[in-house]
Structure 1
Amino acid sequence: MTDDTITIDRECPGGVGELARLEVARIGFGAMQLERLHGDRAAAIDLVRHAIDLGVDHLDTAEFYGDGFVNSVLGEALGGGGLGGAVQVVSKVGAEVAPGGRGLRPAQRPEQLRASVEANLRSLGVERIPVVNLRRMDAGIGIRADGDQAVGIDDQLAAMVAMRDEGMIGAIGLSSMTIEGLRRALPIGVACVQNAYSLVARGDEDMLELCLAEGVAWVPYFPLGSAFAGLPKVTDEPEVISVAEALGVTPSEVGLAWLLQHAPNVLLIPGTADARHLEANLAVGSLTLDAESVARLDAIPTREVDLAAFRAQQD
């Protein structure tokens, strides 16, 4: 062990949370950035296995990450058998890679949701995916569905329930969801909600509170904001920087630690393609913010996401 090795609770990074009625470490791993290792498959597999060795048991993925590359890496890294047992793999449907690999396009129709689940099963090399998120495209950031892709949520939920009943998926999650959509979905059983949310962009606070009351995991994406235009960055917030300096940690660590302390149903899925960064993310689980720091952070006003600026940068 070198002097600069980060010490991690290998049994349960960040403590214990609940996902689809199973206990998981509250800090998981978002696999999207494994796309960056497309030219070094062995390194991608090693990184996933390193995360598992460090106690990660919640992996977030999608068939459209790397057009199947990320899923195939996870399937090989876990050997197939771990996906329904010790490791909870959460995938998502509702989008697909556009022809020519140029970004994503909506895939919202019920038959497309089924085709996407089937593609996920093939690339992961499993017969059942523990949790699958329905990615809606009528709210939140990112592309919007129109034309025949503007599908009612009830039809989509019916398709998801059918696949759960058939054993293709274990539980249903939701992504980029409105609170009205969440309320419509609760009667079918919802395992988790993934929405853009951070210390400085808390517009979905009412939805987080509803999830907490209903025993639904809250899994924020863009938990530190983003370099994309229109999305406020936690690490640029002066008060976050001040708290970080006082505690001798980084602004990123403060932003992630605040999320863990803000609500007990929060599960984090920070992503990276670098082993050192992975270890740093998991080490946040051992950081406890004192009451004064939490009060200062709680007082930061929430910022509105500039959807027009974000979408303009995506075009």
Structure 2
Amino acid sequence: MTAPAFSVILATVHRPELAVAAVRSVLGGTWADLEILVVDQSRDVRTREAVTALGDPRVVYLHSDVTGLSRARNLGAAHARGSLLAFLDDDAVADPAWLTAYSAAFATLPRPGMVGGRLRPLWDAPRPAWFPAAHAFLLGLYDLGDARCEFPPRDLPIGANFAIPADVLRRVGGFEVTLGFDASRSGSLVAGEDTALGLRVRRAGLRVLYEPGAAALHHVSSAKLTPRYYLSRLYWAGRSHVRTSRLVGSPGVLASDAPHTPNRALPAGGPAQRIAQVAGRAAVLAGAAVELLSSRERSAGGAPG
């Protein structure tokens, strides 16, 4: 069987309706030379049944009893046959030209080592005016406008929507399994697996591009629009920053600092946003401090880090 140009990898857990909508959006696009690997970590059969019911031979269902977003993505990549790997979150919906735009980006020279797409919101609840535009990445949103360009020095592609050549992913070692959301880590929101991957690609001397045509809509649930979630995510962003630094070197500025190039995914402005951003910076610094102290205690006690 001839290998497809693209392997789309979609990790999911207990969200069959969203996962099927994501798969349908890719199948309904303008690019047909593809396979979709759905990596399911659910404890029931609903997702398996929903994916199988699609009846499309380009869709491959994989199940893993081992949890973790990074592990799911690594499993999908290990089974992928395409030379280009595209990653989409299970709660995102790809634009019809999604893979066509990625193909065009990878055709530029020198070949990029990684390309990130545009992510706009699909609100499941009204957007609160206080949520800072500078922290749109917490909601999986990213928009630099309509022109293809190099990613700004402080930014890297968001894991919800990006693509990478399979040989580059192997070269940089895949996804770091100690980072990324994992249901088995009770109470933990450690992320950073996409940042670690992007850093390794950059440090390999490869280009990292933003491709606006590779666009997707990303569901934003009401649970992510509360002050408690906002501060919790930034606290864990601080901890993730420290862990990423230990693994691959400093990822740059803390997540509380605004990037040089504005992320246009959310409208900016207003005193409420400024107050929330100050509170968010404090949460990031607190998380970073706790992680530094915890790592020192583990080192002093001889426990594994």
TM normalised by structure 1 equals 0.25
* TM-score, length of structure 2 as denominator length: 0.25
Q: Which structure dedicates a bigger proportion of its chain to strand?
A: 2
Point out the structure with the larger helix share: 1
